[in-house]
Amino acid sequence: MREVDESAEGGGPATLLCVPFAGAGPSFFHPWKALSAGRWRVVTVELPGREKRLLETPYRNVVEAAKSEVDGIVAELGEGARTVLFGHSLGAVLAYELAHLLSARDVRVEQLVVSGSPGPWTQRERRASGLPDEEFLARVEEFAGFRHPALDHPEMRELILPTLQADCEMHENYVPSTDEPVSVPIHSLRGGSDGLVSAEQAREWRRATTSEFGYAEFQGDHMYLVDRAREVLDTIEAGR
């Protein structure tokens, strides 16, 4: 269900649990395994509608997705696992919901790293959900400052588009399952020229934790992490 670096053993380094952004799957984080080089055991959440779960119906609700996937995640992490959660954009709010659930399941969440996201109580004002296909793709490209090459191939686009639309719908309609903050440190990351999430919005995550809070910016726009993976990993390590 999720892709795991099986070379790691239970007594080894902490796990870095990566939660993908809208339309993405585990393959995006493949390079992170080599870059993490012994710092973490890298595990990626694979949601329905992509890669190995391509034929499964994608979720349209963040809270439902987190609750439905948490059992499998706990089984793979192992009891008492030391875990750092990372999520970008849609992945940030999914990671936030998982942080609540995992903390109640004997999974030691050491840090929640949220990227390219306003605080969980701020709903997106600019939306793509419900638009006709071409307008939807143009709006998503505008938001991200990035267009995946696969969307230019009709066959691939036909496979990818329904999942991307479902992901955007559940992100734009997200309402947190609770008003209670988490008790783990939160580190909020943002591309310095992100036109979708302001610095003020990225700092809203301060209210989502009763523990420590950190904030960092990187050169780039909303999808800065495509080119800044090593810097992101260094920042995560520095925050532990």
Q: How does pLDDT run across 167-177, given as a tens digit for each residue?
A: 999 999 999 99
Q: Whole-angstrom Cα distance, residue 169 to residue 172?
A: 5
pLDDT digits (tens, 9 = 90+) for 87-112: 999 999 999 999 999 988 888 999 99
CA distances from 52 to 2, 24, 45, 48, 88 (A): 9, 12, 12, 8, 21
Q: Give pLDDT tens digits for 34-56.
A: 998 778 999 999 999 988 998 89
Q: Higher confidence at residue 82 or residue 63?
A: 63
Give me the sign of the Cα torsion angle 118, 119, 124, 128: positive
Q: Is the pLDDT reported for residue 66 higher than 70? A: yes
- Structure tokens of 217? 């910016």
- Residue 104, phi then psi, degrees to nearest 5: -90, 5
Summarised one tens digit per residue, pLDDT across range 14-33 is 899 999 998 888 999 999 99
Task: Give the closest residue to 169 by CA, choosing from 201, 139, 203.
Answer: 139
Instruction: Answer for the pair 2, 46: CB distance below 8 angstroms, yes or no.
Output: yes
pLDDT at 233 over 90: yes
pLDDT at 8 over 70: no
Q: What is the DSSP string of 16-28?
A: EEEE--TT--GGG
Q: What is the pLDDT of residue 6?
A: 38
Question: Is the pLDDT assigned to residue 4 strictly greater than 60?
Answer: no
What's the pLDDT score for residue 7? 37
Q: Is the pLDDT of residue 1 over 90?
A: no
Give strand pairing partners of 209.
182
Q: Assess whether pLDDT exceeds 90 at residue 11.
A: no
Interhelix angle for 133-144 vs 154-172, to 10°? 70
pLDDT band at 147 (very low <50, low <70, confident <90, very high): low
| pLDDT score for 38 | 79
Class of domain 3-238 as given by CATH: alpha beta
Name 196's Cβ contacts closer than 8 Å, sequence gap at least 6.
116, 126, 143, 144, 222
Using a pLDDT cut of 70, give the percent of the chain over it.
91
- The answer on pLDDT for 231 being more than 50 is yes
Each domain of the chain, given as residue ranges in start order, spans 3-238
Q: How many CB atoms lie within 10 A of CB 225?
A: 22
Q: Is the pLDDT of residue 130 over 90?
A: no
Both tokens assigned to 169: 């719908």
> What residues contact 16, with CB distance under 8 A and at least 6 apart?
32, 36, 39, 40, 41, 42, 43, 83, 84, 86, 236
> Any idea what the Cα angle at residue 110 is, between residues 105 and 114, rounded to 5°?
100
